[in-house]
Chain A
Amino acid sequence: MGKDEQKLTKKYLPISAKKCLHLDTYIRIEEWKDKQGQGQSRFILFNLDQQLLDGILQAKAEKLRLEISEGLLTELRSYALVDGESRLQSGLTFCTAYRFELGRKRVPSAAEEIILRSVISLDGEIINQIRRDSLQDGTWCLAIATAHHWLISQLLYQLPIQAREVPQRVAWGLALFIVALIAILCIGLAIAHPWLWIIFAGLVWLLQFWGHRLLNQFVPWIYLQLLWQMRSPYPIVRKIVRQLLTQLVYSDTTEKN
C-alpha cells in the first residue's frame, strides 16, 4: 500500500480502535407509512459520496471489517425477519445513494440519487437494479457496485447470533421474589413455626437452580418474541425492547473470514 493511500485512509475513514470501519451514520433504515398509517414499508439506505466510496474500497482491499453498533444490528435483525405488518419479511431492500458534487457534468446540482438497489428474498432470490445513466462511467459504476455489495455482505454476515447465558442474579432475584410472596401469604404460619424459614431458604436455592436453567432454555424464544415486538408504535417501548434484545444475545463471530 502506497503512502498516499495510507494518508487517505487516515484522513477520511472513521476507523475504530479495533481496526474496523465505522459507518453507522451513513446507514439508515428508512420507513414509510401509508395514508391510513397501517401498512409500512422499510428499506436500508447507504449514503455515499466520493470520499466514502474511496474509503470503502480501501477497507475492502485491506480486509477491514465494517463495525456496526449493536443497536443498528438489532434493528437489522428485526428488519430481516419481520415486515411492516408483522409478517415474515418477504424481501430486504438495500439502496445506495450517491451525493454528486457540484459541477459534475451529469448532474446540474448537488443531489442524492439512488444508483443501486438490491432486493434479497429469504428464499434466495435477489434482484439487483442499476440506473442506466450510471453505466456511462464504467470505472466509477463498478466501484460503486463493489461498495454497495460489500456493505450488504458486511451487514448480513454479522446477523447470526448466539444466545447469551442469563445472569445467575436474575434467577436469584426471581426465586427470592416468588418465595417472598409465599412467605408473606403464610406469614402467620411462619412465625408460629420458625423451622419453616429453613424450608423457604431451601426453596429459594432450588428455584434459582431450576429457574436459571429454564430461563436459559427459553432465551431464543423470548428473543424472537421481542424481535417481533420491535414494531411497536411507541418509541419508548421500542427503545426498551432494543435494549433487552442486545442483552439477550451476542453476535456469533465464530465463522467470520
Chain B
Amino acid sequence: MMKLKNPNSRGVTPLLTRKFDNFLKSLSDVLIDITALEVNTMVVEQITAHKFIPWEAYRDIYLISREELTRQEIDPSLHSRYLNLRKDLEMEYCLFLLEERVSELDAIALKEYTGVLTNSGGEIDPAETKLPNPLKPRTNPAKEIEKIQTVLDDGRFLRSLRKLSELKAVLDNRDRFLKTAITTSEPTDLICAQSIIQLDGKIINRYDRQLLGHEHQELILNIHKQGVAAGEKQWHGLLNFLVNLIESLISQRGSISGVFNRRN
C-alpha cells in the first residue's frame, strides 16, 4: 500500500488533500464491499435521534468491560450483549490490521491475530487487546491517537463501527427502559427480522425467536416485508448515484483523445 511504502507523505501533503484522497479511495473501495443487500427490522422502546461521531463511538465501545458494566450498573441481562460488541470491535480491528500488512507478518505475529479472530468466547482479555487506547495512551499518546485516526479513516472499519454503535444505542435504550419501567414487558430490542438478498438473487430470511408468538407478529412481519421491498428501491437509487459518479470520474481520466471525439 502507498501509505506504508511512503510513510513521510503523511506529513508533507496538506491535510485537505490527504483527506480528499482518502475520501476518493473509500469511495472506490465501497463498491468492492458490496456483497448483498441486508435489511434488518428492529422494534425498539424509543427512538432517540442517535448521533454517530466516530471517535466517541470508538471510545465508548473500547471502554466496555465487565468491571465497567458493573460500575455503570448496567442491567446484568444485557452484559453479554455489551461484551459481544467489544469483541466485535476487536475483531474488526484485527481484520483491518491483517488487510493492511498481511504480507509483512511472520507466522508468530499471524498467530496472535488469528487468536483474536478464532476466539469463540464472549470476552477478550483486556491485556491481549490490540486496539489503540483512546483514553490513556500507553507509551506514546500521539502514536496511539494517530493509529485511531488511521483506522477511522478506513471506510470498511467505519461502517462496521457505525453498526456496532447502532446496536450499542439500542442496548443503552433498553437498559434505560429496564431501569425505569415498572413492569418488564417482553424484551424486544433485538433484530426481529432480517432479510439478505444476495447478488445472485438468493434470499435468506431470519426471524428472531421472540417474534414467533409475539402479539403483533403479523404486523411486524408486514412492516419488515415493506422495508425489504422499499429497501431494494432505496438502495438502487443510492447505488445508481455512486456508480454514476465513479463511472464519470473514471471516464474523465481516460485519454485526452476523448477531447477530440466529443464533438461528433
A interface list, Cβ under 8 A from B: 30, 32, 34, 39-41, 43, 45, 77, 80-82, 84-88, 90-93, 95, 114-132, 135, 138, 141-142, 145-146, 149-150, 152-153, 155-163, 210, 213-214, 216-221, 224-225, 228, 252, 255
Contacts and interface: CB of A to CB of B under 8 A. Distances in A.
Given A142-B223, A146-B226, A228-B20, A129 B44 contact: yes
Interface stretch (B81-89, B132-140, B214-222): B214-222
A163 B235 CA distance: 22
B114 to A, nearest CB: 25
Given A80-B241, A128-B39, A152 B234 contact: yes
Given A87-B23, A124-B36, A153-B237, A130 B49 contact: no
A34 B258 CA distance: 46
Interface in B52-109: 52-56
Interface stretch (B2-10, B119-127, B201-209, B243-251): B243-251
Residue among A162, A221, A224 having the largest count of chain B Cβ atoms under 10 Å: A224
Interface residues on B, range: 35 or more
B46 A131 contact: yes
Given A87-B153, A216-B262, 15 more contacts: A32-B51, A39-B53, A84-B53, A87-B155, A88-B155, A93-B52, A130-B43, A135-B220, A145-B226, A146-B226, A153-B230, A157-B234, A157-B236, A158-B237, A217-B259
B41 A128 contact: yes
Contacts of A224: 24, 245, 249
Contact of A160 (B241, B258, B263): B241
Nearest to B237: A156
A80 B237 CA distance: 11
B19 interface: yes
Contacts of A126: 37-40, 227, 231, 234-235
Nearest to B42: A129
A127 B192 CA distance: 11
Contacts of A217: 252, 258-259
A149 B226 contact: yes
A91 B53 contact: no
A134 B262 CA distance: 56
A124 B252 contact: no
Q: What does DSSP make chain A's interface, helix, strand, loop or mixed?
A: mixed
Residue among A30, A39, A146 having the largest count of chain B Cβ atoms under 10 Å: A39
B155 A128 contact: no
Given A34-B56, A128-B39, A131-B45, A80 B238 contact: yes
B110 interface: no
Contacts of A221: 249, 252
A116 B192 CA distance: 15
B92 to A, nearest CB: 13
Contact of A141 (B219, B240, B249): B219
Nearest to B192: A130
Contacts of A45: 49
Contact of A157 (B48, B53, B158, B233): B233
A91 B159 contact: yes
B34 interface: yes
23 contacts: A34-B53, A77-B241, A87-B54, A88-B23, A88-B27, A88-B155, A119-B162, A123-B34, A126-B40, A129-B170, A132-B44, A142-B222, A152-B234, A153-B234, A153-B237, A156-B233, A157-B234, A157-B237, A159-B238, A161-B244, A220-B249, A228-B23, A255-B240
Contacts of A40: 53
B34 A87 contact: no
A197 B99 CA distance: 61
Given A129-B44, A131-B47, A90 B52 contact: yes
Residue among A34, A40, A87, A88 having the largest count of chain B Cβ atoms under 10 Å: A88
